[in-house]
Structure 1
Amino acid sequence: MTSPTPIPFSEPPYLSGLPSPYYNDSHRKWQKYCRELVEKHLLQHALEWENEETVPDHVFHTFAAANMLIPNLPSPLPIEWLERLGIHEIGGVAIKEWDYLHTLIYVDEMARSGLAGPPGSLTTGFAFGIPPILKFGSRELQERVCPELLTGKKRCCIAITEPEAGSDVANIHTTATKSPDGRSYLVSGQKKWITNGIWSDYATTAVRTSGPGASGLSLLLIPLKNTPGVTTRRLRVAGQRAAGTTFIEFDDVVVPASNLIGVEGAGMKYVMTNFNHERLLVAIQGARMARVALAAAFEYVMRREAFGKALVEQPVVRHRLAGAGAQLESLWAWLEAFTYQMTRFEKEVADVELGGLTALAKAQTGRVLSECANCAVLLFGGNGFTRSGVGEIAESKWLAFFSAIRCG
């Protein structure tokens, strides 16, 4: 039974009554809207859907109809496109007011189940697959695909990782050979660990259009559904089980040359720029997952008795909780400051000034999530290894650690 008093570390400080220099009335109004909608349409069944390894289609359509997928895009939002589509506000926040702190709140609220799979099934492709099209795609390509992508009528994923090339992006093997008449590319290769791929209509895909190394990479928007030569199969994974992790194979797939995103040879730059947004979102999500794990452990040890007293009265237990909590709140303070800095820079400047720090923030999130997940599993004892009952959230956090800091 949930304690009537707030559980330590269960909420970020600004939601626990502590003052903050970062959040204004718009941010606080947005947080309340997010929490109500996400609790109603996602959190109630998140654990059930994670165990079933699938989130029902209607959930995606509900979020799309409420324009609650658009917050996955980098700030500032694509105002021109959204206004053309009749979208002027989201949850009472004018799109012209939107900044990265609104994004932070959205990602944090979406992750409140403590599970990566259910929110990832809705958000990952939108957050990572569409931004390169908006930032680097030709006007003609945008006109063809953006109206349906931005409104959720069609879906897009990001396809970078390969069986032999994960973090080593410059070593990608998937080839895109231009036809003699210059009208199309012939694509062959494989992509692995592609989140949302099984449901996506398009994949923003890293391909090799020329020689070895980073300078030979380009980005190509490849249609997936009903496209000859495209084969997709779902991968069963430990952690984010409901997010639709996919293996994609391209066997002489003909793709129009007009689907090239930007220019040939600039793919590495586009991927690295996109990584900045990806890494920040993954860090925010991971911090909330760590918070859920630690709060669950804290609640458990306050009511679990052993040796004649509550576990929380044992000094070694308090020491472990305090150590993990210190790491968590230090990380969150950095993420808040980092996100605030994003609101003060133009995107192009932020990519340069904050790009390296974004990678560090994601890496540090992995360490903190590991500590909080391990702490929870340890304190739940045998229950922490059980995929049911009181320790289920701890077990899921321990598995989620291995997949939460990468997204395909």
Structure 2
Amino acid sequence: MYSKYFTEEHNVFRESFRDFLKKEVVPHVDKWEETGHIDREIFKKMGDMGYFGLYYPEEYGGLDLDFFYTVIFLEEMQRINSGGFAAAMWVQAFLGAQHLLKEGYERIKQDYLVPTLSGDKIGCLCITEPFGGSDVAGMRTTAVKEGDHYIINGSKTFITNGVYSDYLVVAAKTDPEAKGRGISIFLMDRETPGISATKLNKLGWRASDTGEIGFDNVKIPAENLMGEEGKGFPYIMQHFALERLIMAINAHARAEYALEYTIGYMKDRTAFGKSLDKFQALRHKLADMMSETEMAKNFNYSIAEELDKGLYPVKEASMAKLLSTKISDEVIYGCLQFLGGYGYIEEYPLARMSRDSRLGPIGGGTSEIMREIIAKMMLDGKDYKPAAK
């Protein structure tokens, strides 16, 4: 197992986490896929085991481990074939929580980040809007300061953990005339009056709750502003590199699991007197698919190493998400084809996997946005930098 990146300690962690998932998660996945609601108890169990805090400082209940423990965390969750469960867990561990860590004041870290990592509170990150999609700078949700409070109005959509979470990290315009420079980041408790949530019915990722959130004159204390007013856009962009790498790792792990399952199926399935893995046309197609997946995986590992060293690989993470999600979609499509009619049957894993995989080129910034970011950096000399501290 890739000695350049993974030590014996990493490998022990992988086996331990795989056993945990097999015991605590796999027996419930089909129910969660059907109901679209993951039991809160599993968040607590994950937190108690330290899985949400792998990459966080010990002072907030984290384990302060290198990023390759998180790589294992992401890869192993793809093997249980529930993109929705995996999404709910990594959103809990990284999306809102990263803003709490980087922009939250000490009170917010103690009151929200600590219970997030322990699994006692569930969080979500609210950026995407119904009319905005990947156009973050064009958001319409507003935050108007009135004395020692802000009044929030607007809506968000496609929010993972958006229905059942305990708190929300919300981006809103504090200066509507300033475009991207007028965005700020706020913390809201779920029970705050004026917050509503509608559950969305999705093609894939069905185990996770995905919601459209409404804010109707939601009044929050001014102290719930995180970081500096007006700096929300660079804060968001700073965390996008991590989210895109996470999506890329999910993609190569998903493709790898699909290939592993399909190869096993082809060795057992016979046609015209021999097993499917002996037909040259299928063997060569598999060789192509395995090669592309392996290339994506190693590219993603190299970026994970950069991130672990404190670098800011925006271009590379965007490339990784663009290519890995594309490869995953193509590999899983091919694997489903190799199963023939059984690939289309719900009792076999490729049906769900194909639905879940399709979100890869959409969520966390579409492939079209990834191409434009890469083009801006490579052709126009655009340089994305971390938000100033």
TM-score normalized by the length of structure 1? 0.84
Q: By how many angstroms is 1:358 displaced?
A: 0.8
Structure number with the bigger relative contact order (C-alpha 8 A, sep ≥ 6) is: 1
Q: Corresponding residue for 1:216?
A: 182
CA change 1:126–1:337 in 2 (3 A) is closer
**Deviation per residue, 1:26-69 (Å, 9 max, x gap):** 22222222122122111343344323433222222221222222
Structure 1 unmatched ranges of 5 or more: 1-13, 88-94
1:134 aligns with 2:112: no
Deviation digits for residues 153-200 of structure 1 (CA, Å, limit 9, x no counterpart): 211101111111111111111111111x2x111111111100011111
Q: CA separation in 2, counterparts of 1:241 and 1:130?
A: 23
**1:117-156 pair list within 5 angstroms:** 117-156=84-123
Aligned ranges 1:284-323 → 2 under 5 Å = 284-323=249-288
Which has the larger displacement, 185-194 or 297-306? 297-306
- RMSD (Å), alpha carbons: 1.8
Matches within 5 A, 1:325-404: 325-343=290-308, 345-346=309-310, 350-351=311-312, 354-388=313-347, 392-404=348-360
How far apart, in 1, do the equivalents of 2:26 and 2:250 lie?
15
For 1:319 and 1:165, how far apart are their aligned partners in 2?
Answer: 42
Q: SS at 2:163's partner residue?
A: helix
Counterpart pick for 1:110 among 77, 82, 100? 77
Is 1:249 matched up with 2:214? yes
| CA distance in 2: counterparts of 1:54 and 1:139, whole angstroms | 32
Classify the secondary structure of the residue corresponding to 1:55: coil
Instruction: Indicate how the Cα distance of structure 1 residues 291 and 48 shifts in structure 2: closer, same or farther if over 3 A, else same.
Output: farther
Match in the other structure for 2:386: none
Q: How far is 1:383 from its partner?
A: 1.8
SS of equivalent residue, structure 2 residue 203: coil
User: Does the 8 Å contact 1:113/1:292 carry over to 2?
Assistant: no
Relative to the length of structure 2, the TM-score reads 0.88
Asked whether the 8 Å contact 2:244–2:317 carries over to 1, the reply is yes
Partner SS, residue 314 of structure 2: helix
Aligned-partner SS, 1:126: helix
CA distance in 1, matches of 2:6, 2:306: 13
Q: CA deviation at 1:231?
A: 0.6
Q: Which residue, 192, 203, 206 being the options, matches 1:227?
A: 192
How many angstroms apart in 2 are the aligned matches of 1:228 and 1:45? 33
- The Cα offsets for residues 50-106 of structure 1, whole Å up to 9 and x where unpaired, read as 2343322222222122222223xxx4x222222xxxx6xxxxxxx35x101111111
Q: Tell whether the 8 Å contact from 1:112 to 1:288 is kept in structure 2 after alignment.
A: yes
Query: Which stretch has the larger CA shift, 24-33 or 142-151?
Result: 142-151
> Are the equivalent residues in 1 in contact too, given 2:244–2:364 (CA < 8 A)?
no
Letter in 1 for 2:321: K
Deviations 1:245-290 (A, max 9, x none): 1110001111111111101111011101111221122211221111
Structure 1 pair 44/286, CA: closer, same or farther in 2 (3 Å)? farther
Query: Secondary structure of the residue that 1:69 maps to in structure 2?
Result: helix
Spell out the pairing of 1:71-90 with structure 2 (5 A cutoff). Answer: 71=54, 75=55, 77-82=56-61
* C-alpha distance in structure 1 between counterparts of 2:114 and 2:70, whole Å: 21
Q: Pick closer, same or farther for the CA change 1:55–1:141 going to 2, 3 Å.
A: closer
For 1:271, the equivalent position in structure 2 comes to 236
Taking every aligned residue pair, what percent have the same amino acid on both sides? 29
